[in-house]
Amino acid sequence: MTRLALVDALRSGDIRALARAIRIVEDHGASAVALLQAAFPHAGRATVIGVTGPPGAGKSSLIDRLVSSYRSDDRRVGVVAIDPSSAFSGGAILGDRVRMQRHGTDAGVFIRSMATRGHLGGLARATGDAIDLVDAAGFDPIVVETVGVGQDEVEVVRTADVVSVVLVPGMGDEIQVLKAGVLEIADLFVINKADHAGADRLEADLRSMLDLAEPGPLPEIVRTVAVRDEGTDGLRAAIEAFLATTEAGRRAARRRERAEARLLAVLGEGLLDRVVARALPDGAFAAVVDRIAERTIDPYTAAERVLARVEVR
Amino acid sequence: MTRLALVDALRSGDIRALARAIRIVEDHGASAVALLQAAFPHAGRATVIGVTGPPGAGKSSLIDRLVSSYRSDDRRVGVVAIDPSSAFSGGAILGDRVRMQRHGTDAGVFIRSMATRGHLGGLARATGDAIDLVDAAGFDPIVVETVGVGQDEVEVVRTADVVSVVLVPGMGDEIQVLKAGVLEIADLFVINKADHAGADRLEADLRSMLDLAEPGPLPEIVRTVAVRDEGTDGLRAAIEAFLATTEAGRRAARRRERAEARLLAVLGEGLLDRVVARALPDGAFAAVVDRIAERTIDPYTAAERVLARVEVR
């Protein structure tokens, strides 16, 4: 199938074509670029819902409930999971790339987990690409699940149209995790496993922390018990209220940030591949690495020598 | 103070000079490069001990005990923490950049936490730089603490001379976290909070998972209760046994990987800065980002146009 035919097929709702397209994009060969170029004009319509939080917060169960909620309104829902501890992504690592859970036989749900390995920035690039393809295939909303502790993972989720941060009572570290750049990106908080002891304490801690933070409207705090499907409606209402009340300017700014992050990721990866191949062909790269390991040259001097040979016409 | 004088001062054991040097490197200005070039020949001596694991595993308490153990042998110990949920790094986010805990008045302990924000790859670059400076200042060993769930964070720790993965019973997700690329990088496992229920079960799960993994000697599994200082001697013995039995070849390979990761991080950041500034000066970069956000150009086509203008002499 040509790239164009593949894009046509995935746009017409062919799930296998979509899965195949994402695989091509993850492998990142030359045909991946042509594929993304063809799909790009058809993407950008879906609402992207970011769900992040520490491992064990129950993000997958919550997403499962959210998917059912959207399905009951006949919305086709995409899920892109890049949390290595996720029930979805756990499968990715073991080679079971598409783990469908109870939505497995539902053609209106597309779940894809991304491996978290590869080169610096590669995860952000591949995830942006996958979201575009799922978007071009007409799924809306698209839920992106990341673990809110890794730098790359936070970068990926922060430019979603709405960012939900999921916490659970009694983990001890939840507030510390918040300090690490997650507080600023939250549009709303979810206290999951809210039937556990400590939910009130967690909410109180969260409120006092939010009060100390920047001025402006405080993010809503929603309580859920995902395993019993409690609070799902409240969460969905909070997501939709946030999206409805966000001014167009703020939403455009978020999408602009997403565009910038993608451009930098694509450009950074492309530059490194191209320049290293040309400036340090064959054994030259390995020889420089050896010299750095032996401490006879430092990485900055080595990089400067390469950079001095780079010209921009 | 000139860069050379600063390097001389930190090499003579001036802690404030070391802290200042790391700050310069984190800000990543032109003088940072000169500083690192001057410090580089004096680094590469320390043993780097990587400690990783999920948030809440008690990594900071464990490191605290390990530091005391090395101090009792009069070793000067460095700690570089890039776990946002760490007791050390928690402080970084709040602006309390050097949190010394009970080693605060001990000039033989240097603790530095790195912020986890910044551009893609920036964390790996800055952490490598900080380790070099602490190393040049004569601290040995240097403990690097990261949270074992983020891609960048795993990349940073995997090239340590010895990688310890810390787990705790009863978190539910510990085995999932292992699947995510952490299993392969572990030279030894620590079951912390080993007095909690489920320690035997966790060890059994771990052993059966390790048996299924690649052949070769199984990583040692050590039990600790860091808050009561139980098992610290066993952990230190396991670390030292690993280092003593690792063949020179394997250790050199690890250092080579570290050198390669640093070169790519430095080169990637330098290329992106330089090429974007030259190819898309002033408002041109913003204009391209706007066009991507409006979906009138895709990031791959935009990147290709920039790449086509890059020449390597």
> By percentage, how much of chain B surpasses pLDDT 90?
52
Q: What is the DSSP letter of A145?
A: E
CA of A145 vs chain B CAs: smallest distance (Å) = 13
pLDDT tens digits for range A58-94: 898 999 999 999 999 999 999 998 866 555 554 333 3
Q: Which of A9, A271, A232, A284 is nearest to B270 (CA)?
A: A271
Question: How much is the pLDDT for A102?
Answer: 62
Q: Do B312 and A313 touch (CB under 8 A)?
A: no
- Give the distance from residue A1's alpha carbon to the nearest chain B alpha carbon, in angstroms: 21
Average pLDDT estimate for B228-237:
96
Q: How far apart are CA B112 and CA A30, in angstroms?
A: 42
Whole-angstrom Cα Rg for chain B: 21
Grouping H, G, I as helix, E, B as strand and the rest as coil, residue A152 is helix
Chain B residues 126-165 within an 8 A CB cutoff of chain A: 128, 147, 149-155
**Residues 158-197, chain B, touching A (beta carbon < 8 A):** 171-173, 176-177, 179-181
A172: nearest CA in chain B?
Answer: B56
Q: Does A121 touch chain B (CB under 8 A)?
A: yes
Alpha helices in chain A (DSSP H): 3-11, 15-27, 30-39, 59-71, 87-93, 122-136, 151-157, 174-177, 199-212, 232-245, 248-279, 284-293, 299-307
User: Does A85 sit within 8 Å of B173, measured CB to CB?
Assistant: yes
Which of these, B73, B100, B50, B65, lies nearest to B225 by C-alpha position? B65
> Out of B24-33, B55-64, B210-219, B242-251, which region has the weakest mean confidence (pLDDT)?
B210-219
CA–chain centroid gap for A74, Å, is 24
Longest dimension (CA), chain B: 64
Instruction: Dump pLDDT digits (tens) for A213-244.
Output: 766 778 999 999 999 999 999 999 999 999 99
B240-259 residues touching A, CB cutoff 8 A: 252, 255-256, 258-259
* B93 Cα to chain A: minimum distance (Å): 6
- What is the predicted pLDDT for the residue at B35? 93
Q: Which residue of B has its CA nearest to A279?
A: B312
Query: In chain A, what residues touch B304 (CB-CB under 8 Å)?
Result: 33, 270
Residues of A in contact with B88 (CB under 8 A): none
C-beta atoms of A84 and B179 within 8 A: yes
- Please give the C-alpha separations between residue A20 and each of A3, A16, A23, B305, in angstroms, as whole numbers: 11, 6, 5, 27
**Cα separation of B47 and A282, whole Å?**
31
Output the pLDDT for position B232: 97
Q: Which residues from A are below 8 Å from B124, CB to CB?
A: 120
Please indicate whether, in this complex, the C-beta atoms of A180 and B260 are within 8 angstroms of each other: no
> Does the pLDDT value for residue B118 go beyond 60?
no
How far does A152 lie from chain B, in Å, by closest CA?
A: 7
pLDDT-based confidence at residue B188 (cuts at 50, 70, 90): very high
- B-chain CB neighbours of A59 within 8 Å are none
Cβ of B312 within 8 Å of Cβ of A312? The answer is: no
Residue B82 and residue B125: Cα distance in Å, rounded?
A: 12
Is the interface score ipTM higher than 0.85?
no
Residues 6 or more apart whose CB falls under 8 angstroms from that of B303 comprise A263, A266, A267, A270
The residue among B210, B78, B147, A291 whose CA lies nearest residue A300 is A291
- Model confidence at A120, pLDDT cuts 50, 70, 90, reads low
Say whether B295 and A44 touch across the interface (CB within 8 A). yes
pLDDT at B96 over 60: no
* CB contact at 8 A, B192 and B225: yes
Out of B85, B93, B267, whose CB is closest to A272? B267
Alpha carbon of residue A17 to chain centroid: 21
The pLDDT of residue B98 is above 70 = no
Verify whether the Cβ–Cβ distance B84 to A265 is below 8 Å: no
Give me the domains of chain A, ranges plus CATH numbers: 44-247 (3.40.50.300)
Spell out the residues 6+ positions from residue B205 whose beta carbon is closer than 8 angstroms to its own. Answer: B175
DSSP letter at A47 equals P
Of A54, A85, A301, the CB nearest to B37: A301
Rounded mean pLDDT, B235-247:
93
Q: Among all residues of chain B, which has the CA nearest to that of A310?
A: B312
CB contact under 8 A, B303 and A180: no
Residues of B whose CB is below 8 A from A276: 264, 267
Taking CB atoms and an 8 Å limit, are A295 and B263 in contact across chains? no
B181, closest residue in chain A (CA to CA): A117
pLDDT tens for A126-144 read 889 999 999 999 999 999 9
How close is the nearest chain B Cα to the Cα of A56, in Å?
6
Tens digits of residue pLDDT in A148-202:
666 667 777 888 999 999 988 876 555 555 555 677 788 999 999 999 988 998 8
pLDDT confidence of residue A90? 44
Which of B7, B254, B263, B288 would you mutate first to test chain A, the one with the most A CBs within 10 A? B263
